[in-house]
Amino acid sequence: MIEFNRRNIRTWSLLGPSGANGAASLELAQTNPDVVFLTADLCFFSGLERVKNAFPDKLYNVGIAEQNLIGVAAGLAKEGFIPIANTYASFCSSRCADQVRVNMSYMKLPIKLIGLTAGYGAGILGATHISIEDISVMRALPNIVVISPADCSEAIKAITACASTPDPTYIRLTGPVNTPIVYKEDYEFEIGRSVKLMSGKDVCIIACGSMVYHSIKAAELLSKDGISCSVINMHTVKPLDTEAVIEANNQHDLIVTAEEHSIKGGLFSEVAEFLSQQGLHKPILPIGIRDRFVPAGSYDYQMRESGLTSENIRMQILTKLKV
């Protein structure tokens, strides 16, 4: 059994999301006989070389062929296996979108699709490799569960958890190597149930993925400004934890969403669409990518360019509250 102790958590953070993916995959390969893995020439990049070395017969590398990746996974899923397919997030939601739509959404085959370097994880390679619309695409497809883990530990929990559900699932992995740690020790993770990490009374930041950490930091900064913030880790973007969103809306003056993703169609949209239907929404401040591709560059550069920093979250909230 994988142990969520401080040493492991530190190690996973050092390895980054792909390393965490490798650890989770190896755990599943050892414990679940039905799980098989697929990749499109990203065996090493995805961390799956650990599976390849230990269980070579459980890994299918289909080469640079993302459409085939999903189709082959569908065949394995239909026959009772649990295929976990890996490729860049940008390719998951665009290159093979029709295969995802037909096999995962329409047929509900229990394929688990891991989107590597979601957001700016591979932004140094330019806009072809950044993924700022994958939540929008996956969220619009019926039947697909969409998860954006907050850190490496949560990535491991999400990947191992999704193998035990019958749902087609998309997991987007955000964050750099040396991933900031949100969870320093073990905790209860349940798909579809958000986690309240901080409790405040003025502002509630609903965040997913890498932005959970930055939201906590922003909340800490804001406390010095006299603003009291709640922070919710909305790791499952779909289906949305609506109870938590209603409670957040009822108990705070301002809702903020934070995501390493476009504000068109991502977590902001999910939350705003839900609250607007309830007829009870207050102003929502979206922190996310403003409908543009930033120039290629380092992860930190692209995050700064997009305002995805704790300081910018603070400033945006102060401006909104006219403090």
Q: Between 8 and 37, how does the x/- string for binding to another protein read (CB under 8 A)?
A: ----------------------------x-
Q: Between 89 and 128, how does the x/- string for binding to another protein read (CB under 8 A)?
A: ---------xx-xxx--xxx--------------------
Residue 79 makes contact with another protein by CB under 8 A? yes
Among residues 80, 166, 226, 279, the one that binds another protein under rule CB under 8 A: 80
**Whose Cβ is closer to another protein: residue 96's or residue 289's?**
96
Instruction: Measure the CA–CA gap between 299 and 295, rounded to whole angstroms.
Output: 11
Residue 236's DSSP bridge partners are: 147
Rounded to whole angstroms, what are the CA distances from 55 to 35, 63, 117, 172?
11, 18, 25, 24
Angle at 156 between CA 77 and CA 135, to 5 degrees: 70
Among residues 23, 29, 76, 289, the one that binds another protein under rule CB under 8 A: 76
Residue 68 makes contact with another protein by CB under 8 A? yes
Side chain identity at 234, as an amino acid letter?
A: M
Residue 74 makes contact with another protein by CB under 8 A? yes
Upstream peptide bond of 239 is cis (omega within 30 degrees of 0): yes
**Whose Cβ is closer to another protein: residue 75's or residue 283's?**
75
Rounded to whole angstroms, what are the CA distances from 272 to 53, 73, 78, 282, 320?
45, 34, 36, 10, 17
**Whose Cβ is closer to another protein: residue 72's or residue 234's?**
72
DSSP state of 177: S
- Contacts with another protein by CB under 8 A lie at 36, 60, 62-63, 65, 67-68, 70-81, 83, 98-99, 101-103, 106-108
